[in-house]
Structure 1
Amino acid sequence: MRLPPGRAAWSRVWEALRPFDPYRSVKAALGALVIGSVIITTLLVFVAAHSDTELRIITIFSIIASLLITQFVAHGLSAPLDEMTEVTRAMAHGDYTRRVRAAERRDEFGDLATAFNRMAADLEAVDTHRKELVANVSHELRTPIAALRAVLENVVDGVSEADPETMRIALRQTERLSRLVEQLLDLSRLDNGVVPLHARRFEVWPYLAGILKEASMAKSAASDPRAGSHSRKDVHLNLDVFPPDLTAHADGERLHQVVANLIDNAVKHSPAHGRVTVRARRGDGAQSLELEVIDEGPGIPEAERHRVFERFNRGGPKAAGQGSGGDGGTGLGLAIARWAVDLHGGRIGVAESPRGCRIKVSLPGVDRDQG
């Protein structure tokens, strides 16, 4: 906003006078201290010269007055430094939430405190990002590890043979683990907006069918009583793609993160013998895609719908993505899904549903300029 000419001129004059304002300049405050001490001493000497008061008494009063003024000014100047020292010690012990109140001052210490608080906020953001990265990695690796464990346990227990098809499933999970390790490191560059997308054209039916097969194996692994989880073998997964030859244009691995996390959340919140449906339809643009994951659980309260996609939001037991009962998870599933959808330039949100929860994902496909 541009200031009127009169106010702009006055602002320039006021800024030019800053070195002489003791409230806005440390040098001016020190100068005022010296001038004040000299004036007091001069007045006391003048009083001594025109009265019967001895000079030594005047000298003592002069020294006491100067010390009091100096102590008062010094305390005001050193208080911000003491506060910064205390906050720095707290930061050294891992507490990045502390801030310096001296930022409200108008002098150089206020400017220093403002810069200090900005630095503390940046350090806090870096520390939070580091913790989120570790939690993201743990969350994303859990599903393929569970699926791989289920395949290997079935082979060891004699439930299935170690035939080429079974080994191919195990190999796919191992390859997916390798890709996830590389791709989750991209989260460290998320804030800079430099995470790459490797979009391609693919057929939707076989792609989603593979994800549902992996999710079924993960459900079997989660039902192992040794894992301490509730059995979810009773939840039925359904795929609804129309038309059957539907194609889309997106990054397969990123979209896998979206669908796998949405299915995982839907399974957690499904009732006994419930049904989870993954529905795919053609969107408005070229090779665009409309995805929906629908469950029959308790749904998401309307007041929570704007928060379920936040990281570490574990909410109540009815909030999707937070687990049921004591299985609250890490509160990252839907946050990762939103991140991957945003990376495509798409939209994700909670849609209205007469029963359960319906999460809707819209991917734009190919831009007309690129097509």
Structure 2
Amino acid sequence: MDLAPGDDGAGPAAPRRKEHHRLPDVRPLDPLRSLKTKLGVLVVATVTFAVLITWIGLQNELGPTRTLPLAIFLSLVIVQLLARGMTSPLRDMTAAVQTMAAGDYSIRVRATSRDEVGQLAEAFNVMAADLDSSDRVRRELIANVSHELRTPVAALQAQLENMVDGVTEPTPSALELSLEQTERLTRLVTYLLDLSRVEAGASALVLSEFSVGDFLEESAQAMSMVDAAKGLSYVVDVTPPDLVLEADVERLRQVVTNLLQNAIRHSPHGGTVRLDAYPVDDDVVLEVSDEGPGIAPEDRGRIFERFASGSASTRPHAAPPSGMASGGTGIGLAIVRWAVDLHGGHVEVADTDRGATMRVTLPAQARPAPGVTTEADD
């Protein structure tokens, strides 16, 4: 088994280690699936070889004083070669752990054996991949949050300094710009608090039955007041009008608010944001659609991952895809998936000819995910 960098190219480059000349690993026992079987074969092979050497010596009139030391020496050589191949994965994993302790999680080990040591090596590679992914997420979190905090803080500081220095008057428009930056900071802090709940495994739902139409109308009205600068139109279409849903209203408000903010961010000025709801079998489907540049097909499967970033749209002169870049942290859509998963539903990007449509499917009668505790809303 050899140490090798991760095949995905992620993570820091592995530091070069000094190469030492060593005996090659001899592994004829790799096909065996049990370490106990390998040890048994090793014992039988060495005993048989020692007896064979002794018998050959007797046939050639060599006494035990000559054949026994030779048999012991050659048996030890065989044991050393075979045992080296059997234990090589353990040595390589030890070296890999030392490398990972220095901050490089791209190291992987290769296993050719099928026994318990080979299974351990495979489990080690899975663990190393998880650590590598977690480390990337941590770095992306620091980079995204630092960028998102720095931009509104710098803008707010500049605006307030201009007002204090008398460069600009504290007019309603200037105060409105400061308020927008403050609201942006508030949204980011809210995202981070929600993410901390995800990490803490907060999974309780307060269930109640409510009108989907009234809920979406209230959500659209609230967002239209916050983001009035773009002059967007909001269309709410619920079929049938008396459609009801059993869910946690506050969690679902999280979902719709994040999807609306995503749609608003990528909608053109004067565009239309749609909120549709309709039943499908025993489920209720909620859709939030915008008229932005859309989401590239290769990005649709991963935009709900934390801090995901996608490629730019293939359309010429288009803004970044919905849910990606353009001031987004990649946290909001991860929270959407988390809240939807709690309800036992799923979220996806629907195929559309124009813009982007986020589709949330929830059971009409609450069927929370396993392990989620529920309580009725009094």
Residues 270, 77 of structure 1: CA spacing in aligned structure 2 closer, same or farther, 3 A cutoff? Answer: same
Which protein has the bigger helix share? 1
Correspondence 1:294 to 2:306: no
SS of corresponding position for 1:198:
strand
- State the one-letter code of the partner of 2:256: V
Match of 1:341? 340
Tell me by how many angstroms 1:188 deviates: 1.7
Correspondence 1:209 to 2:218: no
Residues 363, 62 of structure 1: CA spacing in aligned structure 2 closer, same or farther, 3 A cutoff? Answer: closer
CA-to-partner distance for each residue in 1:151-188, whole Å, 9 max, x for gaps? x9689662339x9xxxx999999987776554322212
- State the one-letter code of the partner of 1:317: A
Tell me by how many angstroms 1:195 deviates: 1.5
Q: Tell me, in whole angstroms, the C-alpha distance in 2 between the residues paired with 1:286 and 1:42.
A: 80
Give the alignment of 1:116-135 within 5 angstroms. Answer: 116-118=121-123, 121-122=126-127, 124-125=129-130, 128-129=133-134, 132=137
Q: Structure with the greater relative contact order (CA < 8 A, sep ≥ 6): 1 or 2?
A: 2
Tell me by how many angstroms 1:42 deviates: 0.9
- State the one-letter code of the partner of 2:198: L
Match of 1:16? none
Tell me by how many angstroms 1:360 deviates: 2.9
Tell me by how many angstroms 1:118 deviates: 2.3
CA contact (8 A) 2:33 2:116 kept: no
CA contact (8 A) 1:90 1:98 kept: yes
- State the one-letter code of the partner of 1:255: L
Structure 2 residue runs without a partner (length 5+): 1-31, 164-168, 314-320, 368-375
Q: 2:252 aligns with which of 250, 255, 277?
A: 255
Q: Tell me, in whole angstroms, the C-alpha distance in 2 between the residues paired with 1:173 and 1:332.
A: 14
Residues 46, 254 of structure 1: CA spacing in aligned structure 2 closer, same or farther, 3 A cutoff? Answer: same
CA contact (8 A) 2:206 2:247 kept: yes
CA contact (8 A) 2:141 2:307 kept: no
CA-to-partner distance for each residue in 1:80-114, whole Å, 9 max, x for gaps? 22222222223323444544434x424xxx31341
TM superposition score normalised by structure 2: 0.61
Q: Tell me, in whole angstroms, the C-alpha distance in 1 between the residues paired with 2:295 and 2:34.
A: 58
Match of 2:89? 80
Tell me by how many angstroms 1:25 deviates: 2.6
Identity of aligned residues (%): 28
Which protein has the bigger strand share? 2
TM superposition score normalised by structure 1: 0.62
Q: Tell me, in whole angstroms, the C-alpha distance in 1 between the residues paired with 2:130 and 2:243.
A: 42
Tell me by how many angstroms 1:315 deviates: 2.8
CA-to-partner distance for each residue in 1:299-342, whole Å, 9 max, x for gaps? 2344544444444542321143223xxx4855444343233223
Query: What do you get for the CA RMSD once the two structures are aligned?
Result: 5.1
SS of corresponding position for 2:205:
coil
Count of equivalent residues: 318
CA contact (8 A) 1:292 1:360 kept: yes
Q: 1:184 aligns with which of 195, 211, 216?
A: 195
CA contact (8 A) 2:263 2:273 kept: no
Q: Tell me, in whole angstroms, the C-alpha distance in 1 between the residues paired with 2:82 and 2:253.
A: 64
- Structure with higher Rg: it is 1
Q: 2:204 aligns with which of 192, 196, 213?
A: 196
CA contact (8 A) 1:276 1:294 kept: yes
CA-to-partner distance for each residue in 1:330-365, whole Å, 9 max, x for gaps? 544434323322323334333343422222334445
